[in-house]
Amino acid sequence: MPVTVSSPTLPSRIQAMDGMLPQTHAPFISEPRHEGRMQHTIRQPINSVGTGLHTGARISLRLSPAPENTGIVFRRTDIDMPPVVARYDMVVDTCLSTVLGCGTASGHAERIATIEHLMAGLAGCGVDNIFIDVDGPEIPVFDGSAAEFVFLLECAGIVPQGAPRQYVHINRTVRVEDGDAYAELSPTAQPGLTIDISIDFPAAAIGQQRYMTCVEPGQFREHLSRARTFVLQPEIDYLHSVGLARGGSLDNAVVVNGDSVVNPSGLRHPDEFVRHKVLDAIGDLYLAGGMVNGHFRGHKSGHTLNNRLLRKVFAEQANWRRAPLDASLTTPRDRAA
Residues 6+ positions from 241 with CB-CB distance below 8 Å: none
Count Cα atoms within 13 angstroms, Cβ side, for 55: 18
Q: Which residues pair with 60 in a beta bridge?
A: 49
**∠ Cα 219 196 206 (to 5°):** 90
- The terminus-to-terminus CA distance of the chain in angstroms comes to 29
Residue 303 a catalytic site member: yes
Nearest Cα to Cα of residue 55 among 78, 74, 73: 78
93 assigned to a ligand binding site = no
Considering 54, 269, 295, 303, which one is annotated as catalytic?
A: 303
Environment class of 99 (CB within 10 Å of its CB; exposed 0-12, middle 13-18, buried 19+): buried
Q: How far is Cα 178 from Cα 188, in angstroms, rounded to an integer? A: 25
Q: How far is Cα 104 from Cα 110, in angstroms, rounded to an integer? A: 8
276 assigned to a ligand binding site = yes
Q: Alpha helices of 54-170 — where are they, by DSSP H?
A: 116-125, 147-156
Residue 223: phi and psi, rounded to 5, are -110, -15
Beta strands in 124-229 (DSSP E): 130-134, 158-164, 167-170, 174-178, 181-186, 193-200, 208-214
CA distances to 176, 274, 328 from 160, rounded to whole Å, are 35, 32, 22
| Bind-site residues for Zn(2+) | 117, 276, 280
Residues labelled catalytic? 303
| Bind-site residues | 117, 276, 280
